[in-house]
Chain A
Amino acid sequence: MKLEFIELELEWPYELSVFDLRPYILSKLIKYGEPLRWAITSLSTYSEKSLQKIYIEAVLIINEDKTNDVNNDLN
């Protein structure tokens, strides 16, 4: 077992309500490991593209076999 700190950028679709945001983020984080501590730490709005992006900082519990996936996928 190891812990990994990651920074993740996600698109927040306009049709997704704030009431559904937490499960949405968890569903994305779980791909990289088991979320231990996370928060949205920044948001950007691109009005010309009708797009909002959220930035997550998180510490995940990662099994060794998932390490490669994380390194490949994260910015």
Chain B
Amino acid sequence: MSPGWMPCGDSGARPMQHILDYEFVLRNAWLIPALPLVSFAIVGLFIRPRSAKLSGFVATAAVFASAVLAWILAAGYFRSAEGGHAALVPWSMEWLRFQENLSASVGVLVDPISVLLMVVVTTVSFLVHLYSIGYMHGDNGFGRFFTFLNLFTFSMLGLVVAPNIVQMYVCWELVGVSSFLLIGFYYEKPSAVAACKKAFIVTRFADLGFMIGVLILGYYGYSFFTGAGSTAVGQPFDFAYLTSPAFLEKFSQVATGVPGLTLITVAMVLVYMGAAGKSAMFPLHIWLPDAMEGPTPVSALIHAATMVVAGVYLVARMFPVFAASEQALMVVAGVGAFTSLFAAVIGCTQDDIKRVLAFSTLSQLGYMMFALGVSTVHEAAGYTASMFHLFTHAFFKALLFLGAGAVIHAVHENDIWKMGGLARKMPVTHATFLIATLSIAGIYPFAGFFSKDEILAAALYGGHPIIFGTGLLVAGLTAFYMWRIYFITFWGKARCEKAGHAHEAPVVMLVPLVVLAALSVVSGFVPFAEYVYLGEKPPHEGINMGVAVPGTIAGVLGIAIAWFLYAGDAGRASALVARMGGSYRHIRNKFYFDEIYIFVTKRVVFAFVAAPIAWFDRHVVDGGVNLTAWCTRTSGAVLRYLQTGQVQTYGAWFVTGVLFVTLILWKMFM
């Protein structure tokens, strides 16, 4: 990847009919993140205090404009370049200058995966904005909600287009804070407050790793960049430089002093820590299920389709660096595969519809991660597959969340056991939800089938049979838990009064559902490998029957079991639960990870670090100061007697002195 530095040409004085052509959009690609930012500022400062309704409208319009630009850019970009898609930087400027040859710029990087993500983010974001106009109708914080959504959209797009690791980190933190603000949107609810703090602190902890990774990469990037014989252009922080063979060749030679461990492994595992925090990989996954305290559209946009894939995106963005260390890739693959299984198992036991979807997101993110982990620079099928799954997952998972939102909106209840029989009352929601469920279960011809197929193929043909087996098992489990909630929610009879009176959602909410449903079908047929690949363009392969058949069998099996247990008589399920006993309870309690974390922070860190420090400061350090003051005062009080002006005192001192000297002389000579 070499950066194609393009000068910022003047954009004025062009005829109107060209204003929306590819050339124009490419040159002004910065508009895509900038529009939501401008809208955020204008809505937040001026419109929100005056008119909530207008805030929603302006915010949505801004993101719509971004989405239009992103689609034009994608259409032009993927069509234009014949032999390989170049990485272009149509706009950049110096932002933060550290010293000579070391500065961080802000800019826009246009390459296959950034264009892909721009399309996904703007599209889903626009649909979620639109949906929220209906969903948040009448909420006191309507204007605030759209302000935050705009802020998020800007930060996410800034992250996606980042041409260097510092911009990535900056926007990374900004999406974190927008996520915090939106999870804590209902700030009067204690559970929402707890959830937003947890999400921020856990991801912040992960970002500590990312930060240290950036420091390491910055230092060695700078050293090799300015070192003898370097012909590099640009800046040491640029991804173009960090992923270049010139840098990797030297960086992978740096030792740590521990045998068998190179610094590149340490650096990339640290960077992966940040990625794992954002993408909620085990054991940093605990914040994502709780993040469901946010309004449902937020869960759809941030905690399913876009922000949580930032970790996957980061690994993909820095893939050549990860690939330079086999151990780092092994960590990525192992953690990803384990998370996908772990979360899928827990997902089978949860009763809150949004939590099931959250665990499903965890599981699917694990899929994307291990797909990257099983690739290499030369055999990069997993890289393509991971990005493909990111693409399709964004649509069907956003659809699932928005569908769940429509249901929750109608029933005012998150517990699936209080729903039931909604298929007839909410036909559009039901149909779209069914499409998404088929898609995530990996049934042909829905989108999930194609991307999952690619991932499993990459694992199998990359020589990772254990990961392939895990993936297959997870595919079955995914089909099972998704169809479990589908049957319980939409089939059978209404289990509570509100579910009996449920009504279909308003049109403004249904339009996004229908659009996403269409995308959940169509996106699978995109000839993805033509557009997104690493190195040489791979030969076009059709569906891998060796993988598709077992994959489909696993999916169908999962659906069948769900049907058997939950479609009719609920007694079968409870009998099974009773048979499983304690292990079911452990799974349902998510293996007690929340409790472990609370124990560690409250009982270990607070009780054994923070509290002793606070005590030490008040009593020992401050005690030292007070002691000094006391000594000074006391010695002053004592020394006062040295000069009282009274003959008696002087006489007393004289006698004492004589006695003292006598005593010493006595001791010395007797």
Do the two chains belong together in a single complex? no
- Residues of A participating in the B interface, judged by any CB pair closer than 8 Å: none
- Residues of B participating in the A interface, judged by any CB pair closer than 8 Å: none
